[in-house]
Chains A and B, each alone.
Chain A
Amino acid sequence: MELGFLKNADSAPITGPEPENEKLMRIIQLNKMKSMKLERLNQYNNRLKRELARERVNASNSSLMIIKYTETTKDGLIPELWGPTETRYQEKTKSPNNEPTGGCCTIA
């Protein structure tokens, strides 16, 4: 009992029967948790508000912008839209066919 009394005197100026103290401690604990929860909820709401305030372009407009981009950027892989393109690979594939004849001539 004496030790318990000392402990209480140390931490806070509260004395009295144990159950009362425990009850008080529990409600203080509970309130701490509640204020933390409130804080978290407020943060969540602020995030939602920020998200709501964000300016959004209609999906139809972004779609049109994407289509415009695909139509105005030259794409060598679609000769149907952009005409034939000379790639570094075509030159190389042609040369082996030409080389043997050329090679033959020089040897002969």
Chain B
Amino acid sequence: MSLSDQTLNAAEREKVQRFLATNTPFIGPDWDLLRDHSASPRDACEAQVLGGAFNADEFDDIRASLQATLDESFDHTQNMIVSPAARFGDMTLCIFTASGDLSLASTRGVMSFCANAYYPIKYVRKYFENDPSVGLREGDCFIFNDPFYGGLHSPDQGSFLPIFHEGQLVAWAGIGLHEGENGAKDPGGMGPNIESPWDEGLKMPPFRFAENYLVRRDIMNFLQNSCRDRRLMGADLKVKLAACMRIEKRLKELIKEHGKDVLVGGLRHNIETLSAEAQRRVNEIPEGTARGQIFLDTTMREDVLIRFHCAVTAKGGKLIIDMRGCAPQFANRPINAPYSSIRCGVLMALAYFIWPDIPHTPALLAPIEIITDPEGLVSATPDVPTALNMQPLFKVISLLHAAIVRLTFGTPLKYANPMAPWFNQVVSFMYGGITQHTEAVGNICGDLNGFPGGAKWNDDGEHSLCPSFAVKVDIGEAEDVEEDLPFVYLVAKRLLLDNVGFGKFRGGGGYEFAISNRYSDFWGFAAIGGGSKFSTTPGIFGGYGCSTYPVCRIKNVDVFEAIKRAPERFQPSMIYLMNEQPFENATYDTHRAALPFEMAAKGEVYLQSQGAGGGYGDVLDRDPERVMKDLSERVVSADTAREIFKIVFDEATLAVDIAGTARARQQERSARMKRGIPYAEFVKQWNRDAPPPGVPYFGGWGTTDFKLFVDGKLSDTDRPRPVYMPDPKDVRIAQLEAQLEAQLHALGQGK
């Protein structure tokens, strides 16, 4: 008989509850808290201030002052922080109400840290504040990184500090940033080799690392001992505490100036004002549903087809984001995303691409409802690895962006320019090893930030600009990298020909780059992208999506020696080097865009290219002069101008034959008509009951009533189970053994 079956009186029930509370072996994630992004009810002080007649002007002053504080603290912290990503701007600072709801965030940096930052604070308040072994005191500072406790993914870290006034908790200050190295299996905290949550390095639910405004030396020592870059870990712990303390100091000055109640009311007022504004904007969206799907072509270790599906419905004052029909989670691949990461994607899509004019806080999510399958790739559980959960997260941004652009296209008032999706893959090299300055490092290059933009309804997209998850961040300078790290950019930044999403307006193009280790005897690279075989960035309203690009490698060569011997054989071009293979005895290969960490000998070359933003509208509607400009700037080739855009022109002068172009385009339109079939017939031809045989398909099949397919086979259960992938090396061994067996069999020597 279980306890719940027993009839207990009140005293017994209390005793039982106390026993259970003090004898819980482990306080795991709080799922209710994790899924609930609504603001806590007003507390007594907030209710008192906002329930009466308040001075909105004073709130306005407080908001402006706090915003300046957050932005100024951002600048200051960016100067002091050691993490390379945070120095490029991958960071956010925030202020929360006493309940833990985010009131205001810095306008600079990456807002993804904001979406779940409420959770670790509410968690601490719920589980630790009244626990005599932990408690909550002035001068405490907490740290966390686990995505099931409010982190985004394990290489990110957040810290928060309670702010008291005369013994009463009035607010919290917080900071989130991409730290990188955290002792994971792969240097830099993430990589394709991660096969279990225990490969992900530090797994920190919120815990106190500083007391009395001092970082605890024993805790710092422990954290430093748990990762490769001890200098980075130690220095940045201090910086995180200092950042929170700066915010605290300013907030206390404001309390002195305006009084505690006004400040508390002002923090709450921000949340309620922004929630109301988000609600008003959702109410403006015409009721209806827009759907979309994107396929990822890799688990990071093998080529597969993973489905991300999304239906966005505006109904009854709600915006419902239904992500059922996505793939199941993978037990031993790092691309799983907890529900909370998906919520980040939703917030980023709204803030960056739909409502860029409004302060970016989670209050915007008030009228949003998110539905997922249980234990899927976008609602992962803690027993699967999640270090590369930005793969699903970035796809969610694209899916939502495209869906809401379609849903809101007819609304007269638009807060953002309608446009095609931004590029959504991480194209950069991760690195690790010992530098020419004898420092142990592990992190990712600034090329990560070079995502090209999608085409707009009225203009072309911008070439490599910034990632879809941040604004005004830096790609960096090759010279600075070369001075710090032991590799050379043989190609630094060169736009790759025809690498744009074609359309009436074309998406922005991406650049190619090539690097080679020159100074280190202990160095390696990894890559964490996808989309090398199946594009993940679509166009919109007839525009083309991005092309596909692999990682390229030239091994068994010292390119620097080879150049010295025969300089004429070297050209800084991925296409030339891979097609012409100019270095004798070197091995040239292409690889899916996810490359597990491997050692790179001096002079071996690694090459990649950023993809492209999606195109907008029909290529036949593109202004021929825009095509010629692209041609003159080597953005597109003459073949593309002729074959895709159907331009008739003089290749020497780039003069357009207007009449000839009109004829060529009319011919193409006629050819399309001939190729076309009635819609009902198309649906009949197009629709299938199952994915094509042989395709390693993972995810729901269909638009609404999904059938779950795992590795191309219909799943025998409604409830998705984590998919366990065999080790690619075992698969290869098995293939080779089978070949050997077949040959032996042919020789009559088989088993």
Report if A and B associate in a common complex: no
